[in-house]
Structure 1
Amino acid sequence: MTDSMPGASRVFGNRFAVDASGRSRRVDEACFRQPNTRVRFHGERQDTASPGWRRLLELIDEAVEDGREVFRPLVDLTPLERADLVTLPPTIAKLTRVRHLVLYGSPLVRVPPEIGAMASLEVFEPYTSYALHWFPLELTRCANLGRSTVSTRALYGNYKYRYDFPQLQPEGALAKVPDRDDLDPQIWGAETIRSCSVCDGPIEPVRFRQVWISLRVATDVLPLLVNACSENCVRALPDPPEGYVATTHQGGRYVPQPEPSHR
């Protein structure tokens, strides 16, 4: 998402988030195509009163109750209900028996850190979710995750196009925010930040660090957002693979990236 798009965070209902066919407009946004613009996070806020969100909560509870191993929530939503979704509920943390998560063609713009609690996850399929440009570091906590299908051409820093990463906030900036449970997602990448992505410990706002890192997760190298409680947790991160930014960084157009590879 670029600065040339509306800057204010918005709550989208069906009336504004879909076209006449029910297709989400978010997946069609030209997030990287406008020259001389600064890339920013998507700013949409999740409407937790919308029919799609409420139905997704029900589907998660049903999946927990019956212990299913394959979870395909979008197939049980209408097009208008699917278009209500900006992110997934934190309650996905309860899906500890799910081995295969299918989000094919979703309108999601972010995945919550609670995905890291899906301990049995082996296959992750958000393919053709073109508004998903990054993932939380917590995804690496899924120790059994061995296969992923991600639309890599939509990712920040992907090897074919080397799109810019959004510029992150400086250390200590979180301490100046009046309400950590009501963050601007266009600035922070989330509406709330509860715990450290690395150690899962509490966040002390004055020591908070937010960085990017590219790591291989299952099949793909993904841009991962790290919400760290301290510099020590940032230093504990592994080294990125060859062919990507070699260190953690804070994004922005001046981060040196390797040349694009169109192999």
Structure 2
Amino acid sequence: MSNIPKIKKVYQDQNSEAWNKLCDYIDIVEKEGIEEFEPRKSLGNELFSKIQTLPKSISKLKNVKALDLYGSNLTQIPPEIGEMESLRTFTPYTSYQLHWYPYEIINCKAINDSTVSTRALYGNYKTKLKFPDLTLEAVKYFDTDIVKCSICKKEMNYSETDQYWISLVIATDLLPLLVNTCSEVCKGKIITSHPHYSHLQHPPHKGGNNSTVSSIFKF
């Protein structure tokens, strides 16, 4: 089991200058209707390097079309990214600590271009990086004890959620996504393939040694 990775915990100082400036930047982007979200340019390299996750307030960025996270130290992105309804271009390239993404990103229907460092991803067929075992430990988002079902949006605590991995084509990359479900009904509604890439279909899984996704997907 030693070759099965564990989910990295997020340690984000919400009282830090970096976090406060990031939150202020989000407010500015929302208020001014800016279409590009570029936190590195706003914070500078030093402060941006201290950001491990994005605030849930990114849900307010309804007009943002381009999300540039190039070279970040992010270890997770909150599911609220799915509320960025205008998002078209997603660039987390060289964000080597981002091994997975929230399933909710499928709700960004306008996404048509992405640049992801795929060798850092769980399930990548070249690096053979396996998925963490969700039967051993739940994946938790930063700063919340309550999570929403990725399908029906019901609120629940982590002891109530049934989590799965699924790999789907998002824009131009095959991404490993984390799904939180509240019931067998919602589990049955997990999308298992992109309409234009039906040959990439694979059922939701729990990861660990029994995961064979890395040998199936060659995208």
Calculate the TM-score normalised by the size of structure 2: 0.89
- CA drift at 1:201: 1.9
Report the residue type matching 1:72 in the other structure: E
What amino acid does structure 1 have at the position aligned with 2:16? S
1:189 Cα deviation (Å)?
3.8
Unaligned segments of structure 1, at least 5 residues: 4-35, 171-185
User: Percentage identity across aligned positions?
Assistant: 41
Q: Is the 8 A contact 1:50 1:84 kept in 2?
A: no
Considering only aligned residues, what root-mean-square deviation do their CA atoms show, in Å? 2.3
Alignment correspondent of 1:120: 86
Give the SS at the match of 2:134: coil
SS in 2 for 1:120: coil
Whole-angstrom distance in 2 between the partners of 1:260 and 1:230: 27
1:212 equivalent to 2:165? Answer yes
* Matched position secondary structure for 1:259: helix
| 8 Å CA contact retained: 2:192, 2:201 | no
- 1:194 aligned counterpart, secondary structure: strand
Quick one: distance in 2 between partners of 1:245 and 1:142?
20
Aligned residue-pair number: 214
Larger Rg: 1
Letter paired with 2:176: P
Report whether the alignment pairs 1:221 with 2:174: yes
Match of 1:139 in 2: 105
What amino acid is aligned across from residue 127 of structure 1 in structure 2? Y
1:95-106, aligned counterparts within 5 Å?
A: 95-106=61-72
Alignment-mate amino acid for residue 210 of structure 2: Y
Q: Which amino acid aligns with 1:190?
A: Y
1:91-117, Cα deviation, whole Å (9 max, x unpaired):
000000001111110110000000000
Q: 1:152-209, CA deviations, whole angstroms, 9 ceiling, x for partnerless residues? A: 0100001322311011147xxxxxxxxxxxxxxx852423342111121222666521
SS at match of 1:127: coil
SS in 2 for 1:75: helix
Query: Is residue 39 of structure 2 the alignment partner of residue 73 of structure 1?
Result: yes
- Where does residue 130 of structure 1 map in the other structure? 96
Unaligned segments of structure 2, at least 5 residues: none
Matched residue of 1:224: which SS? strand
Alpha-carbon distance between aligned partners in 1 of 2:198 and 2:84, rounded to the nearest angstrom: 28
CA contact (8 A) 1:244 1:257 kept: no
From 188, 191, 205, the equivalent of 1:249 is 205
Q: CA deviation digits over 1:15-40, x for unaligned, max 9?
A: xxxxxxxxxxxxxxxxxxxxx43301
TM-score of the superposition, structure 1-length normalised?
A: 0.75
Structure 2 letter corresponding to 1:250: K
